[in-house]
Amino acid sequence: MLKDIGRLEQFKKRIQQAKHVTTLIYRHPRFLYAMREKMGVKDPVAPATTRYCTLFLTLERMYKHRDAMKCLFTNEDWSRSKLSSTQVGRNVREIVLSTTFWNGVEDCIKASEPLLALLRMVYGAERPAMPEVFAGLYLAKKKISNSFASNPGLLKQVIDIVELRWSDQMEQKLYGAALFLNPNKFFDIKENDPAYASSLRSMFNDVIEKMVVDDDELITKVSGQANQYDSTETSFGKKLPTLSPYDWWSAYGGSARELKSFAWRIVGLYCSASGYDRNWTMFDCVSNQPLTANRHSCLCPLGR
Residue 156 in 3-state DSSP? helix
pLDDT above 50 (res 31): yes
Sign of CA dihedral 73, 77, 80, 82: negative
pLDDT given for residue 269 in this prediction: 84
pLDDT above 70 (res 293): no
pLDDT given for residue 80 in this prediction: 87
Q: Are 55 and 7 in contact (CB under 8 A)?
A: no
pLDDT given for residue 145 in this prediction: 95
| Nearest-angstrom CA–CA distance, 174 and 41 | 41
Residue 48 in 3-state DSSP? coil
Greater confidence (30 vs 12) lies with: 12
Q: Are 134 and 179 in contact (CB under 8 A)?
A: yes
Q: How many CB atoms lie within 10 A of CB 64?
A: 12
Q: How many CB atoms lie within 10 A of CB 267?
A: 26
In this structure, of 141-150, 174-183, 250-259, the range with the lowest mean pLDDT score is 250-259
pLDDT above 50 (res 117): yes
Q: What is the pLDDT of residues 135-168, one digit of tens each?
A: 888 899 999 999 999 999 999 999 999 999 888 7
Q: Supply angle C-alpha 135, 221, 127, rounded to 5.
A: 30
Greater confidence (289 vs 295) lies with: 289
